[in-house]
């Protein structure tokens, strides 16, 4: 068992909860979700399934792709991305249910909710990073692509996010005849969250677990 497992697990769960709340806020802003959530959100209209359930299914697919890319280099602990994804998906569904009455139609309020979702998501990411137990399957997939082909991780994430947004746009347009979940908020999230994490992560230096 990892050193300081319990406090690190609490930190991980807290980070996942904040990230899920960030997803919920971005959805309620009606300005588009983050790139990683754009596919589950658009497919929730196509398949009539919950966003959390589709998030879990996407995590499973991403883990399977990691297995194909890494082959024998895929390690058992990478399967821990699955329960983490299930917890994350459950948090999203619970928070969507708890906030189902929220409705935002004033653009200034929508922008505020979008920016707040970026801030909350960035804090959640910082907590997950500081927990240093396991990451979500999206980051795991980008890391696998980086390891397999020797690409820089940041570049893999950038191009991966673009691919996810394109999948969401093309799928929704092809089936429903309209674009769902991809708007200016998607671009704001893609640009803001990473920058906020870089600025905020050093401020979480007090969350240090010595091996």
Q: What are the pLDDT digits (tens) for 39-94?
A: 999 999 999 899 999 999 999 999 999 989 888 888 877 888 899 999 999 999 99
- List Cβ neighbours of 161 (8 Å cut-off, separation of 6 or more): 35, 36, 190
Q: pLDDT-based confidence at 210, cuts 50/70/90?
A: low
Say if CB 209 and CB 7 are below 8 A apart.
yes
Q: Is residue 187 part of a domain?
A: yes
Half-sphere exposure of 208 (CA within 13 A, CB side): 5
pTM: 0.87
Task: Report d(CA 87, CA 60) in Å as an integer.
Answer: 13
Domain that holds residue 131: 5-204
Q: Is residue 62 part of a domain?
A: yes
Q: Is residue 56 part of a domain?
A: yes
Task: Report d(CA 110, CA 89) in Å as an integer.
Answer: 24
**Distances from the Cα of 76 to the Cα of 1, 63, 68, 86, angstroms:** 14, 11, 14, 17
Q: Is residue 50 part of a domain?
A: yes
Q: Is residue 210 part of a domain?
A: no
Bigger pLDDT: 207 vs 193 = 193
Would you state the pLDDT for residue 93?
Answer: 94
Would you state the pLDDT for residue 3?
Answer: 67
Summarize pLDDT for 138-193 with one digit per residue, the tens: 888 888 888 888 878 777 888 888 898 899 999 999 988 888 888 888 888 888 88
Would you state the pLDDT for residue 1?
Answer: 57
> What is the DSSP track for 24-54?
HHHHHHTS---HHHHHHHHHHHHH---HHHH
The residue whose two tokens read 């570049």 is 155
Task: Report d(CA 1, CA 31) in Å as an integer.
Answer: 42
Q: pLDDT-based confidence at 211, cuts 50/70/90?
A: low
User: How many CB atoms within 10 Å of residue 153?
Assistant: 13
Q: Is residue 209 part of a domain?
A: no
Judged by average pLDDT, the poorest of 11-20, 79-88, 106-115, 154-163 is 154-163
As for how many domains the chain has, the answer is 1
């Amino acid at each position: 068992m990892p050193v300081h497992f319990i406090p690190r697990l609490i930190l991980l769960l807290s980070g996942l909860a904040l990230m899920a709340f960030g997803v919920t806020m971005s959805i309620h802003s009606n300005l588009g979700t983050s790139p990683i959530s754009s596919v589950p959100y658009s497919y929730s209209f196509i398949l009539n399934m919950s966003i959390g359930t589709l998030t879990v299914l996407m995590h499973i697919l991403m883990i399977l792709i990691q297995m194909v890319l890494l082959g024998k280099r895929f390690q058992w602990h990478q399967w821990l991305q699955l329960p983490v994804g299930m917890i994350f998906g459950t948090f999203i569904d619970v928070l969507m249910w708890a906030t189902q009455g929220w409705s935002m139609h004033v653009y200034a309020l929508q922008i505020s909710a979008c920016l707040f979702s970026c801030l909350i998501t960035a804090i959640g990411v910082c907590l997950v990073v500081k927990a240093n137990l396991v990451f979500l399957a999206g980051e795991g997939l980008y890391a696998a692509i980086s390891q397999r082909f020797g690409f820089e991780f940041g570049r893999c994430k950038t191009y991966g996010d673009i691919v996810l947004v394109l999948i969401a746009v093309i799928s929704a347009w092809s089936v429903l005849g309209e674009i769902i979940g991809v708007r200016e908020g998607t671009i704001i999230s893609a640009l803001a969250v990473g920058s906020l994490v870089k600025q905020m992560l050093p401020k979480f230096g007090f969350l240090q677990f010595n091996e």
